[in-house]
A = this chain, B = another copy of it.
């Protein structure tokens, strides 16, 4: 195997791992979105924040270790953050609705 083959293989593995971890967080977001109306659990937000923090550290490490281009790392993170923001908006609206009752 040449060194560029190896680099490519390591980069691909790193991106695949990050994408898998991002998918797990995305799944958590989706579950919470589905449960908005029925079983709201306040701890969920804390769990999601913690997961996001851990994931951002992973991405940061992958970039610094030379496995993932900085722009790709930012892209993966910002997509998750956008989805998380949608969830938090929906949660806030639900909370306002409850207050108005």
Chain A residues in the interface with B (C-beta under 8 A): 1-3, 5-7, 10, 13-14, 17-18, 50, 53-58, 60-62, 64-67
Contacts and interface: CB of A to CB of B under 8 A. Distances in A.
User: How many identical chains are in the complex?
Assistant: 2
A50 B49 CA distance: 11
A56 B54 CA distance: 8
Contacts of A6: 3, 6-7
A56 to B, nearest CB: 8
Given A13-B66, A57-B57, A61-B61, 15 more contacts: A6-B6, A6-B7, A10-B65, A14-B65, A17-B61, A17-B65, A53-B53, A53-B54, A54-B54, A54-B56, A58-B60, A58-B61, A61-B62, A62-B65, A65-B65
